[in-house]
Structure 1
Amino acid sequence: MHLPTLRQLQFLCALADEKSFSRAADVCNVTQPTLSSAIKEVEAILGVQLVEREARGASLTRAGEETVERARAILSSAADLVSAAHQAGAPLTGPFHLGAIPTLAPYLLPRTLSALRSGHPELKLYLREDQTDRLIEGLRNRTLDAALIALPWASSGIETETLGDDEFLFIAPKGHKLSRSKKLSPEDLNGEDVLLLEDGHCLRDHAIAACALSPSASPSNISATSLATLVQMVAGGLGISLVPKIAAEAGLGAGADLNVRQFDQPLIGRQIGIAWRAGSPREAEARMIGKSVKKTLAARA
């Protein structure tokens, strides 16, 4: 029986994603005629049309959609085979795809990765910074091997390990009444304009939960896309906010005209954790990376 090759299945999946022969060829780093010929060969092997060729692109037939779904599973299994073989030979060697949320990546990874590189010189780490939902999807579709996220975060088919706590600090423009008050508790934020990150960032939800804020606490027309922008908005007098202590310790807000202080009782706003796909052959390596992150967190304390 003549079977499609893994490379041909990769071409088909790329075409399904890009919906264009030219873009799919670019993604696969081949010429368009090469990719088109490979797709025709798969159709000939299977004896069914998989792709509707259109003037402005390409779309899958019903048979094509089912074939792509099965092709993705086959490619994922092949990737798992390679990963398992690498791990059996020596852990943390070769490529490893690690994701991290934007409120952790720039503040936690530099020191962690330096230690990993020293201990595992054969490790080739590929980093992806993104919001939690997309990182979890990357774990599910096997484009990521592990991801550093904020917990709690429940998701079916995903396993996590808690690595440490992250305290939230209060920030406000210099001169703000809460900057000068002798005592500070989360309840003091009610009634204030609390600036938060935009929807989609888990830090927004954790900040609201940590201080039991009303959803209306944040001005409806003001939100930030990053912690750096958030800090500058606070320094500009637009409101107050919360920032992770790990970010403040890494220099976030340094030089800005604002006040940063702890709450009277340390406000643990979230836990830092590492996540991986349940059943992944890279679980042991994910835990090893988590252990390195845990050491970095312990060194901070």
Structure 2
Amino acid sequence: MAYLPSLKQLTYLVALAKELNFTRAAETCFVGQSTLSAGLKELEEGLGIQLVERDRQNVSITPAGFEVLERAKTILAASEDLVEYAGISGKPMTTTIRLGVIPTIAPFLLPSVLPETRKRFPNLKITLREDLTANLLARLAEHKLDYALIALPYDVSGLLVEELFDDPFWLVAREGDPALKGKEVTLPAKMAERLLLLEEGHCLREHSLQACKKADIRKDDGVEATSLLTLLQMVESGFGIALLPEMAVKSSLLNSSDLVAKALSAPAPKRIIALVARSSTAHATEFTALSQCIRDQFGMSLKKVK
């Protein structure tokens, strides 16, 4: 029979990759350093490849080790999902769901969705974490989150994905701005140069670039925003124009400002709001129920991507 690594050995590898120190890694696993070292050595011998480079001062993960590491995280997360599934089997909608949400969705969607969720499923508890998409998906892979509410397009290969609704972009500018002239608002190339963006790491930045068909817009003055609120303040101060998701436009975000938002002419660029989870999730029933609750409460129907 082919060699199969143990979950303990994979846990040791994940811990060492995080700490890059045998003593600290052993402490996080609640074992002695010799036990952790022996377990990793057995793992390397069983797989027939070197995973860790060691000397008296430094510890590093080999290229092959990084490949094994990613698979180890997936296996460990699936194992935890299995145990969790066994624990909640027969008791749907009575568990705790750890939900991650990106900053350009959370303040506009959650205030209406969470009360309705509590009303429909009083025994379902939801804890929240707001973060950038890449960080949420990393935590999802490591079993630190159950679901993530994100915007597509984004690489979600290998995940369970439920597309919820389209969120078109609107053009936001100061009243009287040339970009707002005409019955149909478009975003010509010369206007794209005035487009203000969120800083790197926000998926809305990439969606805005895709909307104006540019791979990047280099700001020589270094003007970039860290949040949607800051972005709008920059537009109001005359730094440029911005693309804003419809859910933000229809919130109170533009209240008490002199900014004007207009829908872009069809076919308007858009992002797709989606709920994602590990394919091995123990909370498939809750995943489906929460997806439907979001669609119903937010008052939008799913529009398939063409």
Query: TM-score interval w.r.t. the shorter chain?
Result: 0.7 to 0.9
Give runs of aligned pairs for residues 153-192 of structure 1, distance below 5 A: 153-179=154-180, 181-188=181-188, 190-191=190-191
Question: Does 2:29 align with 1:39?
Answer: no
Cα deviation, 1:192-235, whole Å, max 9, x if unaligned, reads 5111223332222322333x344566644322222122111111
Distance in 1 between residues matched to 2:279 and 2:154, nearest whole Å: 15
The runs of 5 or more residues in structure 2 that have no matched partner are 46-50, 302-306
The runs of 5 or more residues in structure 1 that have no matched partner are none
Give runs of aligned pairs for residues 90-169 of structure 1, distance below 5 A: 90-169=91-170
- Give, as a single letter, the amino acid of the residue that structure 2 aligns with 1:119: R
Moved more, 290-299 or 151-160: 151-160
Match of 1:280 in 2: 281
Give runs of aligned pairs for residues 1-301 of structure 1, distance below 5 A: 10=11, 13-20=14-21, 24=25, 28=28, 36=33, 39=36, 42=39, 72=73, 75-179=76-180, 181-188=181-188, 190-191=190-191, 193-210=194-211, 212-215=212-215, 219-220=219-220, 221-263=222-264, 267-298=268-299
Distance in 2 between residues matched to 1:78 and 1:133, nearest whole Å: 23
Distance 1:35 1:249, change over 3 A: farther
CA contact (8 A) 1:198 1:225 kept: yes
Distance in 1 between residues matched to 2:244 and 2:156, nearest whole Å: 25
RMSD of Structure 2 on Structure 1 (CA) = 4.0
Distance 1:230 1:93, change over 3 A: same
Deviation, 1:239, is 0.1
Distance in 2 between residues matched to 1:56 and 1:125, nearest whole Å: 43
- Give, as a single letter, the amino acid of the residue that structure 2 aligns with 1:39: L
Distance in 2 between residues matched to 1:153 and 1:63, nearest whole Å: 26
Cα deviation, 1:154-213, whole Å, max 9, x if unaligned, reads 54312322211212222112342334x342422457435111223332222322333x34
Distance in 1 between residues matched to 2:217 and 2:71, nearest whole Å: 47
CA contact (8 A) 2:13 2:40 kept: no
CA contact (8 A) 2:179 2:191 kept: no
CA contact (8 A) 1:196 1:218 kept: no
SS at match of 1:186: coil
Indicate the percent of aligned positions where both proteins have the same amino acid.
Answer: 38
Distance in 2 between residues matched to 1:177 and 1:122, nearest whole Å: 53
Deviation, 1:275, is 1.8
Deviation, 1:142, is 3.5
Distance 1:66 1:198, change over 3 A: closer
Distance in 2 between residues matched to 1:153 and 1:21, nearest whole Å: 36
Distance 1:284 1:189, change over 3 A: farther
Return the TM-score normalized by structure 2.
0.74
Distance in 1 between residues matched to 2:200 and 2:68, nearest whole Å: 36
CA contact (8 A) 1:164 1:297 kept: no
Moved more, 17-26 or 104-113: 17-26
Distance 1:41 1:172, change over 3 A: same
Distance in 2 between residues matched to 1:217 and 1:288, nearest whole Å: 40
Distance in 1 between residues matched to 2:44 and 2:169, nearest whole Å: 60
Deviation, 1:128, is 2.9
Deviation, 1:263, is 3.6
- Give, as a single letter, the amino acid of the residue that structure 2 aligns with 1:159: L
SS at match of 1:191: helix
Distance 1:259 1:218, change over 3 A: farther
Moved more, 124-133 or 106-115: 124-133
Distance in 2 between residues matched to 1:166 and 1:63, nearest whole Å: 41
Match of 2:304 in 1: none
CA contact (8 A) 2:168 2:270 kept: yes
- Give, as a single letter, the amino acid of the residue that structure 2 aligns with 1:229: T
Distance in 1 between residues matched to 2:273 and 2:208, nearest whole Å: 14
